Amino acid sequence: MAVLVIVLSGTWESLSWPYQEWQYTSAQFHQQTALAAPACAAWAAVVAGRLTSPSRIFAPAAGQRMGAPVVRQHLVPLGAVLVGSYLLGLAPLVAVTVIDAEFGGPDLLVMLSGLLGISASITVGYLIGVLARSAFIAPVAFLLFFAFTVLGSTGDTYAAVVPVLHIDPELGQVENPAMVVFRCVFLLAVTIVAAMVAAQVLAHRVPRPRRGWTTTAALTAIPVALAVLGVSTTPDLFRLPADPPRQCAERHGIEYCVHQGHASQLDDLITALDPAFTARGPQEQIERVHDRALLWSDPLAVPETTHVVILSPGNTITGSEPYFAAGRLAGMDACDKKYPEKVGGNSGGEHPYDRAVDLAAWLERNPLALHDTNPFKDVDTDTMREWITTHSEEIRTCSLDTVELPS
């Protein structure tokens, strides 16, 4: 039940998004292990601590059924319940993605890596309980796996062995298949070896030949070697398709292009940005507006005349994108570079940064952004266009403090 609640709470907000992306949904199969895996490990440690302790009358040290049979009888139903709860928590997200996704399909290998992460947490948690012989070890198992998943948030270094990535993949990015395969092999090895070691430990609670412990050490060396290999070689996190499918349209001389997976957002994007370009009038500063999902393969090669927009199902186009487009037309890029210490602007101020902010607010055509102190607020469109054209160089270099304002 706890695993189900953890996963549902982690994905609940995304269920109401206007559209879905399979890259995000597939990744949630491993991203949600951040808390679910520690919970599974803790619960497995409780089960092992309570059911395998030699102090229990049904688990004597010399019992004929100790070892692999009892491990199998414990882990199979435990795994079915916990993995089943994990999948049940992800089912609503998968359902809405099937309905609302506009491009691609599920990445089964990526999904499998998450399920193997849960399986590994269950078997290792069970092994911890077997070694401790007490259910009170559960908090240690939880903290151990929580620390393990936190490693994933530190960067790419542990991505090959930890199922939690520090960023969610976006449309136009594909998780590196080689890395995902390695992660699956590693987690599968951890799952199998932890179960076998638990069986060895239970089988050798009475005096047995040392050969059993030699076998245990040899088994443990397998995932350790894989972990060292995975951490020492940091592969690319994502594979970036060179020519993703797109959908384009033109409005007032501006070319708008979005990834096929964002096709439903094209009209909204044009509606949101067109007022700024219309207010500016003919210009050569921005000729194209492209979705960032089209540009992952070579972001440094984007021409200066291309304005890049960030589209994601969790953010609305009408929020920040019109402001960013108006800001580019108002010379905000130059202002940010020229005055890096300046944070925000004061409407009506004489600093060039303040005047650029006021000009961006006028271009944005957002009444909420046009303060009464904005010197451009009551200037008609034709006068503003003429003034902007006359002082285009001052705008481009963030030097509007040197020119006379329109009236």
Name residue 248's beta-bridge partners: 257
Q: Which residues in 225-237 are b (16+ Cβ under 10 Å) and which e?
A: ebbeebeeeeeeb
pTM of the model: 0.86
Give the per-residue pLDDT at 189: 96
Higher pLDDT, 351 or 28: 28
For 220-266, what is each residue's pLDDT tens digit? 888 899 999 989 887 888 988 888 999 999 998 899 999 999 999 99
For 284-323, what is each residue's pLDDT tens digit? 888 999 999 998 877 777 888 899 999 989 887 766 788 8
Element (H, E) at 185: helix 177-203
Q: Is the confidence at residue 98, as pLDDT, over 90?
A: yes
Q: Is the confidence at residue 90, as pLDDT, over 70?
A: yes
CA–CA separation, 38 vs 191, rounded Å? 15
Angle at 47 between CA 42 and CA 53, to 5 degrees: 120
User: What confidence category does residue 61 fall into, taking pLDDT thresholds of 50, 70 and 90?
Assistant: low
For 153-209, what is each residue's pLDDT tens digit? 888 889 999 999 998 999 989 999 999 999 999 999 999 999 999 988 887 665 555
Percentage with pLDDT > 70 across the chain:
92
Higher pLDDT, 371 or 22: 22
Sign of CA dihedral 358, 360, 364, 369: negative
Nearest to 226 by CA among 183, 191, 180: 183
Give the per-residue pLDDT at 267: 93
Give the per-residue pLDDT at 240: 87
CA–CA separation, 134 vs 185, rounded Å? 30
Pair 45, 125: CB distance under 8 Å: yes
3-state secondary structure 328-352: HHCCHHHHHHHCCCCCCCCCCCCCH
CA–CA separation, 189 vs 228, rounded Å? 14
* Distances, alpha carbon 324 to alpha carbons 37, 313, 319, 342, 395, in Å: 40, 18, 10, 17, 15
Up-side HSE of residue 122: CA atoms within 13 Å toward CB? 25
Q: Where are the alpha helices (DSSP H) in 33-107?
A: 33-51, 68-100
Give the per-residue pLDDT at 114: 96
Mean of per-residue pLDDT scores for the chain = 87
For residue 186, how many other CB atoms are within 10 A of its CB? 25
